[in-house]
Amino acid sequence: MRAALPLFLCLCALLSACQPKQTPTRIYRDTEVSLDVQDRVLDRQGAPIDGILQRYAPEGSLAQETRFVAGMRHGRMQSYYESGRIKERYDYSHGLLNGPGETYYESGRLEMECPSLDGKKHGVWKRYYDDGVLESENPYLDDQAHGVWKQYDENGRLVREISFDRGRFSGVAREYDENGKVLHEVRAP
């Protein structure tokens, strides 16, 4: 048992030496960077930044934080109202919007869900009234309207829908009254 202790300690030391070194995340202020001709963000020495860029409102509150790798947005971007509440949140991958995106009312309620893939609208974009009731659902595929777009009134009743196929009107468009009865209907040619 005593012989196992030195072997165990030696193994622990070896494993900790093999761990990658963690470098602290660099924080940049907006006054410390500039843009190059390829829209990469550079530090004062002209090198692409790696870290978090923070932008501040004139009164001094944090307005936006964006993670950068090799001068390109890569990771989470968040912006804030002067109150400090989150205004919008988007994810980037190698400079392109990629993943869920959200905007918020100043009250803190969700205003929009706006997913993207490789810099293009992709998935169902949803907008909400400021009380949280769904206002619209708009599906996208590869940056084009694709599927049934729906619009709702403040009470959550469907008032309008229109079908799209890769950006073109297809199928049918309908408008409804407050009881759900079809008021108007137009069919695609």
The tens-digit pLDDT sequence of the chain (189 residues) is: 455 544 444 444 444 444 444 556 788 887 778 776 567 888 888 889 999 999 999 989 999 999 999 999 999 999 999 999 999 999 999 999 999 999 999 999 999 999 999 999 999 999 999 999 999 999 999 999 999 999 999 999 999 999 999 999 999 999 999 999 999 999 988
Task: Tell whether the torsion through CA atoms of 162, 163, 165 and 171 is positive or negative.
Answer: negative
CA distance 48 to 43: 6
- Say if 53 falls within a structural domain: yes
- Say if 30 falls within a structural domain: yes
For 111-141, b where at least 16 C-beta lie within 10 A, e where not — what string?
bbbbbbbeeebbbbbbbbbeeeeebbbbbbb
The whole domain housing 74 covers 24-121
- Say if 37 falls within a structural domain: yes
- Say if 109 falls within a structural domain: yes
Tell me the whole-structure pTM to 2 decimals: 0.80
- Say if 86 falls within a structural domain: yes
Number of compact structural domains in the chain: 1
pLDDT computed for residue 4 by the predictor: 52
- Say if 131 falls within a structural domain: no
